[in-house]
Structure 1
Amino acid sequence: MQKRQMRLVAFLKAGPTCHHHGMWRHPETDNGFLEPDWYEHIARVLEKGCFDGLFFADVLGIYDYYNRSFATMVGKGGALSLLDPLPILAMMARVTRHIGLGATLSTTFHNPYQIARTLGTLDILSKGRMAWNVVTSASNLEARNFGFEAIPGREERYGRADEVLEACMALWQSWDEGALVIDKETGRFADPAKLHYADYRGEWVRTRGPLTVPRSPQGHPVIMQAGSSGPGKAFAARWAEMIFTLQHTAQDMRRFRSEMRAAIEAAGRDPDHCAVLPSVDPIIGETVSIAREKQDFVNSLVDPELGMALMSSHIGTDLSRFPIDQPVVDLPLEEGSRGSFEVILQGTRAEGLTLGEAAKRFATSELAPQIVGTPVQVADQLEAMFTSEACDGFILTPTVSPGTWEQFSRAVVPILQKRGLMRSSYEGATLRENLRAGAKPRDTAQGRAA
């Protein structure tokens, strides 16, 4: 009987930080985020480490909630997306063969035909390795960059998101398998009977089709989603094949996964076809004391004021107006993402953190757990969460770049592989096949016979 195997996905951003907002200041961080070779190296390292995938988080603007200015965010290097990830993913696809490649695109600001055409193209060129991290966006600053005065309400955003997904699926399905013939002798290029109009008409979205892009090897990109609000969870239950979540303890993870699996089953889908992946930040040392020293050092690089600006951006409220010793639970929520605010509350309520304390904590890992220890101890902690069914694997975020990826792949991955908790090679040809390959225990002898 082969064990259920954990899924591993790397969290990336085209800028100076990921979750840890002191990362760019670390002496071992290579701030080569404007160089193609930097991204290509990371992709190769992660593929050598047998990661299922990587994905880029993205922000369509520069946050300016704090003090009504972007000065702190820009000046201190926080939450900046300096490049469009799509061309980067195309470059990463060229230097890899197996690892999944995820892009974040907003259903609020991007047209479904554009999304389907761009991601469909990348899915073909990568031989079926693309994923789409679906976001609805939540900030007015992004809305203004796209010509709107304000972001639509949450219900409308998720209603539109459902329609955008339906429209994209109709477009991706407008080419049947085998539609391309390309027969030089007969002069038959394609079979018109295997090409269809989409003719999708919704309340917010319309598209005629057919898509210009033929069917990809996996049919359509893997759908990834990270909503924490009620509508976000309902959307994930309907569509998601990977769920990115911020949870603070194994108990929180277990509760969230159980809720999502029940919701997915209620939506008529197989819960084993959706990997629930909480975010964790691994910090590895030769000894536990070295690992703790590394943790203390990298966390000391976080600027407290940047933490205030980051929390302001996630909550959608200018926190400079409040005393830093005010409990976070007493903060009013004026606008922005309720899901993000709930994550912050969940991570601070038990400890009764003040605004200033929570801001510093938030900027170190955005309240994701830091997994600290020797390679064996880090593997032990990941195994304990995984085997207790708190998750289906992890979204890993770096504290040093690209050092975190190099060290984890070199030191922790072999331990997980030896324990049978991780693949040693890629089983499938597409991202979807690889995600599903280790989703649940299976009898390998029966599998071979079949």
Structure 2
Amino acid sequence: MTDDTATSAKTLNLALFLFPGYHLGAWRLPDAIPEFDLDIDHYVRAAQLAEAAKLDAIFFEDGAAVRRSNDILNGDTYGVANPRSIHFDPTMVLPALAMHTSHLGLAATSTATFNEPYNTARRFSSLDFLSKGRAGWNLVTSFNEDEAQNFGLEAHLAHAARYERAEEFVDVVTGLWDSWEPDAIVRDKETGTYFDPEKMHFLQHEGEHFTVRGPLTLGRSPQVRPVIFQAGSSEPGRALAARTADVVFTLQSDLEEARAFRDDIRARAAAFGRDPETIKVLVGMTPIVGATDEEAAALRDEMMALIPEDLAISNLIPLSGGYDFRRHDLNGPMPELPESNAGKSHRAAIMSVARRDGLSILETARYFAEGSYLKMIGSPATIADTMQQWREADACDGFLAVPTHYPTGVEDFTQRVVPELQRRGIFRTEYTGTQLRDHLGLARY
């Protein structure tokens, strides 16, 4: 696949996932700049690197609570001193990035569990105007119990209830986005008509969870509907994604399982009357890049050695739904994890990785301390080989690249891996549109 003449008819979609402290050890490397967590100048440079590489979008996760593992750690400070805890509200970062980029899509997480649909619709429509059509909303249902306690709840909403709320939430948001016709705002000085009330529509939504009059105060935004991202592997998560999402993220780390996931999402989308080609599945991947495969493997080992054992275990606990791994020999096999009220995707990923690779509890914890996504370790050509293989096998439509640290991890992917993909003809060398829907190959409204 590395021959200079090799090309593929199947091109990739690529987004950059940027989250401080994502790799729980890499921030300690000499060349890492952990202070980027609260420094907008570093975010701007990362976005500009992504745009120079012609990526579809830059994407930000969110969590509205300082992470902890649970009281079972009996005061272990690693349970709360997780570097993933320190970060901006990402919806506040995106307007700044819009002012320093011109094509890159700008997407951020905003939970349907602890927000209201009117505020969410208004916020992302505003961003769509500010960025001239580059906004994306990652619709999630929060799984962290600690977040519930920041919003007046003693315990988290049940998993099914979170998705029921999200189903109605997204219907209200899209209804609000659609509430103005294209030529409703005329600003006609001669007649004194600012907008045509006949082309403005009140939503008048009355449902189980929300009562919303509408419309938005913005008119019709450039994309009309900002791109909706979603991630979820549970039954209600897949149903929500297939019905509402434009882009679906997945934690799949096995090619055949990833292909089955994509086929399932596309079939469900078709059952909802959607064209399966209008929904893109991106596999999360963490690139660890070296000049050679051996150099990349050595870098992985170096970063892994910087993750304290207690931090790795305490990080795995909330991902598993609060399971107390310390009841077991940490060098022993991963036990069967019980169902919980937490998110289902991570539980499934933990069991899949541990069983597939024969990992102990501690080895599994270290794997997820590197990040939850598929690890691609090697030279740019080796990583490109794997990405091309997955795309040609229809295991995905592209990838959500999750660098281990800033700036080197971001630079390695955008300036070393992406050029290799471009040389093979499987990723663009120039933008052909101006809006995020253009980059992703999605229909415009």
Q: What is the TM-score with the length of structure 1 in the denominator?
A: 0.92
Matched, 1:59 2:36: no
Q: Which residue of 2 aligns with 1:23?
A: 26
Alpha carbons 2:16, 2:402 under 8 Å: kept = yes
Q: Which residue of 2 aligns with 1:327?
A: 333
Matched, 1:43 2:47: yes
What is the rounded CA distance, in whole Å, between the counterparts of 2:217 and 2:200 in structure 1? 10
- 1:218 maps to a residue whose letter is Q
How do residues 71-220 of structure 1 correspond to structure 2 at under 5 angstroms? 71-75=77-81, 77-220=82-225
Alpha carbons 2:8, 2:424 under 8 Å: kept = no
Q: CA separation of 1:129/1:140 partners in 2, compared to 1, >3 Å: closer, same or farther?
A: same
- 1:192 maps to a residue whose letter is P
Q: What secondary structure sits across from 2:201 in the alignment?
A: coil
Q: Which residue of 1 aligns with 2:361?
A: 355
What is the rounded CA distance, in whole Å, between the counterparts of 1:70 and 1:132 in structure 2? 36
Alpha carbons 1:78, 1:310 under 8 Å: kept = no
What is the rounded CA distance, in whole Å, between the counterparts of 2:344 and 2:291 in structure 1? 40
Q: Which residue of 2 aligns with 1:443?
A: none
Choose which of 234, 238, 243 in structure 2 pairs with 1:233.
Answer: 238
What is the rounded CA distance, in whole Å, between the counterparts of 1:70 and 1:28 in structure 2? 29
How do residues 313-392 of structure 1 correspond to structure 2 at under 5 angstroms? 313-319=318-324, 321-323=326-328, 324-366=330-372, 368-392=373-397
Deviation at residue 7 of structure 1 after TM alignment: 0.5
Alpha carbons 2:66, 2:85 under 8 Å: kept = yes
Residue deviations 1:192-250, cap 9 Å, x none? 11111011111111100111122111101111011111110111110111111111121
Residue deviations 1:17-49, cap 9 Å, x none? 12x221211211112221111110001000000
Q: CA separation of 1:301/1:331 partners in 2, compared to 1, >3 Å: closer, same or farther?
A: same
What is the rounded CA distance, in whole Å, between the counterparts of 2:407 and 2:273 in structure 1? 40
Q: Which residue of 2 aligns with 1:278?
A: 283
What is the rounded CA distance, in whole Å, between the counterparts of 2:325 and 2:383 in structure 1? 37
- 2:53 maps to a residue whose letter is G
Q: Which residue of 2 aligns with 1:8?
A: 14
Residue deviations 1:286-344, cap 9 Å, x none? 12221221122122222221111111111221525422245323343443223321111
Unaligned runs of at least 5 residues, structure 1: 439-450
Alpha carbons 2:177, 2:216 under 8 Å: kept = yes
Deviation at residue 251 of structure 1 after TM alignment: 1.7
What is the rounded CA distance, in whole Å, between the counterparts of 2:75 and 2:280 in structure 1? 38
What is the rounded CA distance, in whole Å, between the counterparts of 1:256 and 1:143 in structure 2? 30
Residue deviations 1:107-135, cap 9 Å, x none? 11100011011111111111111111111
What is the rounded CA distance, in whole Å, between the counterparts of 1:100 and 1:207 in structure 2? 29
Q: What secondary structure sits across from 1:8 in the alignment?
A: strand
Q: CA separation of 1:375/1:178 partners in 2, compared to 1, >3 Å: closer, same or farther?
A: same
Alpha carbons 1:65, 1:318 under 8 Å: kept = no
What is the rounded CA distance, in whole Å, between the counterparts of 1:160 and 1:128 in structure 2? 27
Q: Which residue of 1 aligns with 2:3?
A: none
Q: What is the TM-score with the length of structure 2 in the denominator?
A: 0.93
Alpha carbons 1:72, 1:309 under 8 Å: kept = yes
Alpha carbons 1:59, 1:81 under 8 Å: kept = no
Alpha carbons 1:278, 1:394 under 8 Å: kept = yes
Alpha carbons 1:128, 1:217 under 8 Å: kept = yes
- 1:364 maps to a residue whose letter is E
Q: What secondary structure sits across from 2:139 in the alignment?
A: strand
Choose which of 317, 320, 331 in structure 2 pairs with 1:312.
Answer: 317
What is the rounded CA distance, in whole Å, between the counterparts of 1:57 and 1:276 in structure 2? 17
What is the rounded CA distance, in whole Å, between the counterparts of 2:363 and 2:218 in structure 1? 50
What is the rounded CA distance, in whole Å, between the counterparts of 2:255 and 2:378 in structure 1? 17
What is the rounded CA distance, in whole Å, between the counterparts of 1:185 and 1:409 in structure 2? 51
- 2:54 maps to a residue whose letter is C
Q: CA separation of 1:97/1:70 partners in 2, compared to 1, >3 Å: closer, same or farther?
A: farther
Q: What secondary structure sits across from 2:84 in the alignment?
A: coil
Residue deviations 1:92-115, cap 9 Å, x none? 111001111111111111000110
**Aligned-pair identity (%):** 38
Aligned length: 433
- 1:59 maps to a residue whose letter is G
Matched, 1:399 2:400: no
Deviation at residue 350 of structure 1 after TM alignment: 2.4
Deviation at residue 276 of structure 1 after TM alignment: 0.5
Q: Which residue of 2 aligns with 1:244?
A: 249
Q: What secondary structure sits across from 1:330 in the alignment?
A: coil
Q: Which residue of 2 aligns with 1:433?
A: 438
What is the rounded CA distance, in whole Å, between the counterparts of 1:374 and 1:352 in structure 2? 26
What is the rounded CA distance, in whole Å, between the counterparts of 2:10 and 2:185 in structure 1? 38
Alpha carbons 1:45, 1:409 under 8 Å: kept = yes
- 2:57 maps to a residue whose letter is G
Q: What secondary structure sits across from 1:54 in the alignment?
A: strand
Q: Which residue of 2 aligns with 1:33?
A: 37
Higher mean displacement: 176-185 or 47-56: 176-185
Deviation at residue 393 of structure 1 after TM alignment: 0.4
